[in-house]
Amino acid sequence: MTVSAIEFIGVEKRFPPRGETGEVLAARDVNFSVAPGEVVSIIGPSGCGKSTLLNMGSGLAKPSAGVVKVAGQVVEGPNDHVSFMLQKDLLMPWRTIAENIEFGLELRGVKSADRTAVSAKLLKQCHLDGFGAHYPHQLSGGMRQRAALARTLAVDPLVLLMDEPFSALDAQTKMILQQDLAKTVAAEGKTVLLITHDLAEAVALSDRILVMSERPGTIVEQIKVDIPDRNNPMARRTRDEVGGYVSRLMALLKLDANTEVH
């Protein structure tokens, strides 16, 4: 039997009272698994616990109940199998782009020559050739996110946890980076768990989409995206079936033309 890349079993997360605010139950009875090499998106209302799930998957937070497993092992804290990419690139301004990409490897004690080889490969792979010696402030937003993706891939994770990584970008840049991500994930067999508020993005990139309820968040629907070209999201976006999936997701989220989306 194939071991899941990441698995949530009966997961619940409570946050203790703060000031006049009582205890918050952020997520409850969350159960799902992601197979090796699968791309799964999570969508749901703001505040439903999506980011909390990724925090628990990365080991940055612990479940109040239940367990999270990565590669069959219970997550007790940050581990080498997982990398986390956020909406903000969080590049260190005092380090060059190459040095930023190499940072995780440096923490793991990888030799300088080996780190350089990895960053050189990823600079080329992420279309940043010639920018390794630049600093973050010298790059556009899209290029900075490419660098953040390269840094995420540098440690060769089993699972990529991605929290709205492209939401701050313009539409054209976002689609280009989605294309790059899809091709890289397919080529390297990576597993991705992605949070997005962009329903078309979820359809374009995913094998499956998990829909969460309002807080306390739980999985209310799992939708398999049965459209060709998962490794080519630009091509997938042109398929007639995409509109049907987006409409179904809107219905599950109780969205209509008059809904203000955040």
Tell me the per-residue pLDDT of 158-175, one tens digit each, with 9 for 90 and over: 999 999 988 888 889 889
- So what's the pLDDT on residue 33? 96
Q: What is the DSSP letter of 204?
A: H
Tell me the per-residue pLDDT of 180-207, one tens digit each, with 9 for 90 and over: 899 988 988 999 999 999 999 999 999 9
> What element of type H or E holds 55?
helix 50-58
Exposed / middle / buried, residue 4 (Cβ in 10 Å: 0-12, 13-18, 19+):
buried
- So what's the pLDDT on residue 261? 43
Rounded distance, CA 148 to CA 153, Å? 9
Tell me the per-residue pLDDT of 92-118, one tens digit each, with 9 for 90 and over: 999 999 999 999 999 999 999 999 999
Task: Tell me the average pLDDT across 124-134.
Answer: 92
Rounded distance, CA 252 to CA 254, Å? 5
In the chain, what percentage of residues exceed pLDDT 70?
95
Tell me the per-residue pLDDT of 35-79, one tens digit each, with 9 for 90 and over: 999 999 999 998 899 999 999 999 999 999 999 999 999 999 988
Rounded distance, CA 133 to CA 95, Å? 9
Rounded distance, CA 166 to CA 201, Å? 10
Q: Global pTM?
A: 0.90
Residue linked to tokens 């840049």: 173
Q: Which domains, and CATH codes, for the chain?
A: 1-81+161-262 (3.40.50.300), 88-156 (no CATH)
Residue linked to tokens 């969080």: 90
